[in-house]
Amino acid sequence: MAIALKILSPKLDLVFKLLFGTEGNIEILTDFLLSVLKLSPSEYAKIAIANPFLLQEYKGGKLGILDVRLTLKSGKVINIEIQVDPMPAMKSRILFYASKLIIAQVGESDLYDKIQRVISIIITDHPLIENSDKFHHHFGLYDLESKVLLTDILEIHTLEIPKARKNFNATEDTKLLNWMKFLDAKTEEELNVLAQKKPCYENSNHPPIRTLR
């Protein structure tokens, strides 16, 4: 009797960190970043996996723990987070973590021009942005009326898997939509179909872990 294999979802915290937060999986990480961000491919020539802990700035301050924290060749800082279940004050948490990534770059004697851009990529398995059917949003510090950009120091991307699911059967496939399918995959067959479109899914040193059933 054949034993069916069941995958552990890429959305699980441990699997997600193995896929995107280990040096051996830079290829799969780079492909994901290229699908989300409008940065030059040369930015990914050197990616450093950084310490995910955001330390307290003062006694009694709040400690932060990120899923994946990266530094690019240019010095840009990237935080990739996945949140499966709804969390109270999720948007405030996103801003809190992004702010800590900015603060962490400046010491007591440093000038403010040392600060590099902080990019947060937040993936949720629940609706996050109200009054919008888009699954990918790109937020920055803009004037609300004229849409003039104040600074590009802070950039936040949200990716909502439930909204992306509505497009899974669309005839037009995009790289980012395929990544959403990959994260939402529940069977080995689904992963194999996606691997045919994107070989780096198969080449990962830490593919989604399988369990016997």
Q: Are 75 and 115 in contact (CB under 8 A)?
A: no
Is position 3 within any domain?
no
Backbone angles phi, psi at 113, to 5 degrees: -70, 0
Give the total number of structural domains in the chain.
Answer: 1
Q: Which residues of the chain have pLDDT under 50?
A: 1-4, 54-64, 199, 205-213
Is position 107 within any domain?
yes
Range of the domain at 101: 16-207
Is position 10 within any domain?
no
Is position 170 within any domain?
yes
Is position 213 within any domain?
no
66-72: long-range pairs with CB below 8 Å, 24+: 66/97, 67/13, 67/16, 67/17, 67/20, 67/21, 68/16, 68/17, 68/20, 68/21, 68/29, 69/21, 69/101, 70/29, 71/47, 72/39, 72/43, 72/44, 72/46, 72/47
pLDDT, tens digit, 9 for 90 and up, residues 61-120: 444 456 788 999 999 999 999 999 999 999 999 999 999 899 989 888 889 999 999 999
pTM, two decimals, is: 0.84
Residue 131 to residues 36, 59, 125, 128, 163, Cα–Cα distance (Å) = 22, 40, 17, 10, 12
Is position 7 within any domain?
no
What radius of gyration, in Å, describes the C-alpha atoms of the chain?
Answer: 18
